[in-house]
Structure 1
Amino acid sequence: MVQIWLVEFLKGAGKLFLHPVLYYLVFLSGILGVIRVKRERKNFHIRAQDAYFELRQLFPLGIFLGLILSLMVVGTGLTVPFAAIVLIAGFTVLWSLTTNIRWMSPAYTVSATFFAIILIAHNNWSFSLFPKAFAALDELVYPSIVIILGLLLIAEGILIVKNATKGTSPKLVKSKRGQVVGVHEVKRLWLVPLFMLVPGSALDLPFSWWPVFHLGANEYALFLVPFAVGFQQQIKGMLPSEAIGQHGRQVVGLGIAITLIAIAGYWYPIVSIVAATLALIGREALAYIAHIRDVNQPFYFSKKNNGLMIIGIIPDSPASKMELKVGEVIVKANGIAISDEKAFYEALQKNRAHCKLDVLDTNGEIRFVQRALFEGDHHELGLLFVQDGHKFGKKTG
């Protein structure tokens, strides 16, 4: 029995590399990185993060969360039809074509799959590409799909809180008054690989009570399925870490609520339909509320009369090593009060071997930072500011 399970886990894991969504997400992450770098160079003449940053965020935390969810899914025996795996992959690619990355959230891909299965089963539709998979849909409602949707929403919220707050991209835009102001943008993709139980001919039922959420089959197979989680948000009125963190915690709360409601669908199938609908509406509502809340606030990153506000910091630069933070305001450099970039860099030239800054932190308190400067250090310390209007949109050579 143990050997059979081990072999099936290895075979199931291998199926991950046969799934096109894995390679599609790698491709999209690379594209997001290239587009971001091109925009940052246009705005600031330098990129904040390298083009591989989005690609590096794709796997680590998502794999860890996928392992935890897999233990829950397999342990409780949450089984799904193979048609669901096919449809989720299809909707993942389809929604990505909208170019709005957040539509690749499980709230949209998995819920669309749930409702599509209801339509397909009700109308007895057939598909030539996977005829057996769709012919096997002998039920209209699959509560297990909605429970998995709730669990993936929890994972999405955790990913937003723990990862989306890192490396947000500074961006220059024009306000309604035509002034150049700053915003922060995050477009992030994560891969959450999840072991799924589907009817097959590999694993006999080890216990009389397992699987709890069965499909009436006596044998099952394991598939390691790559789920895409997409997130996109633009922030103008708050610190990015605060706005994104708040959004992520709300998504976690939504996921917990959907999971608890969906469990009742095992006894009352109509509840599963309600839960899937709430997941779809709730996730869209959270995005809309975050947008409205941000729109109604003044620009956080704008020119200041009493100094220069930091909108971005280049990794591994002197500014990064001095532990300067996005949202802080530099009021003095080497003892000289500054109000624009020209004055700032002229003050730095007063002492090329050492830099001392008076900084107004995000709590409105003054702190002092200093550091010796060495040959090869970034001549601008690696700081990005909201630039003068004539620099906006100027391309670099």
Structure 2
Amino acid sequence: MGPMDDQRQRSGWAADGPAGRIATPFDSSITGNNQVLPARLVRIQHLACLPLWETQLRSEKKSNHTIRSYMSTARRFSATIIPGEEEVDIEEISITEMHDRCNPNNGRLDLFIQAIANLRPATINARIAAVSHLFRYIGHRIPDWVHRPTASRPLPRTLTREEVMRVRRAAQDSENPLAHPIITLLLDTGMRVSELCALETGTIDLADCSARVYGGKGDKDRTVLFTERSVDAMEAWFGTRRLLIQRKNPPNDDVDAVFLTNRVARISTRYVQKMMDVIADEALIPRTRLTPHTLRHNFATGLLERGVDLVSIQRLLGHSNIQTTRIYLDISDQTLREIYHRAQSASLEE
């Protein structure tokens, strides 16, 4: 190899010979972009890719929300058209065709990254994560030039003690019989709204003051604990629930649901948020400040101000990573002042 060959290697082009010609890009063994379909996919390369990838996501215990987000991003990426291409049916793209579309050297990834460049950093990172997973599944990898912006994690938004009291009163006075038990459970257990909607009668043990949450975020199970206030609210609700079922039998899929609407159907996350909008109006709180997740934050900060250790809070919230729980230590000065005064008031009342 002479001086000219050294210069060609430094410039990123192959030397003369069987492996390349002058001005011919290096092959995948040099660039790191593997162009070979993984052996595990060779025999099924003619099948539609997206349904198989969705099955892979489910096998990895991704949450339903994550799967929907990943699938939506994958469809957007696959539908990105590069010059000279025609539109295709994304759902019918085979594994072989998807492997070609995911080639990081064909320009499709560049166009996709440009299309999402003006979104929030957290959204960009989420979409890059989805595409990265698809690339790995299909036998490619995201190049190093793809920049992942630094996303500042928002601090938890909580209600003041006075606002919490107003929310509890509004829920108790509400004409909706679901308002009181739902608000009480969200405040006293820290459950996610999806977990609340999925509760079934067989998972609740009022005598033990607990409930078992199955298939929570990341398809993980855990136990949530009830206060006496929660038990009282649930006992009152179960009486109302029995009357509802006597009037009209719920559908088979909802027969064991803990929370049923007036139509005797399982509640949805959308139903809960609409109900909370009404509660917010009654409690004179902006609707944007009263969400199921806000009450979950109140639950966590309430434990923290009572001196509960971070590991216990992590388990009660169902966080898989304690770093997620640590965000409650990075609360704002204003929240810190509120927590301090609440703790002081509580000690004086005792």
Between Structure 1 and Structure 2, which shows a larger proportion of helix residues? 2
Pair member with larger Rg: 2
For the criterion TM > 0.5, the same-fold answer is no
- Which band: TM-score by shorter chain? under 0.3
Question: TM-score if structure 2 supplies the norm length?
Answer: 0.22
Between Structure 1 and Structure 2, which shows a larger proportion of strand residues? 1
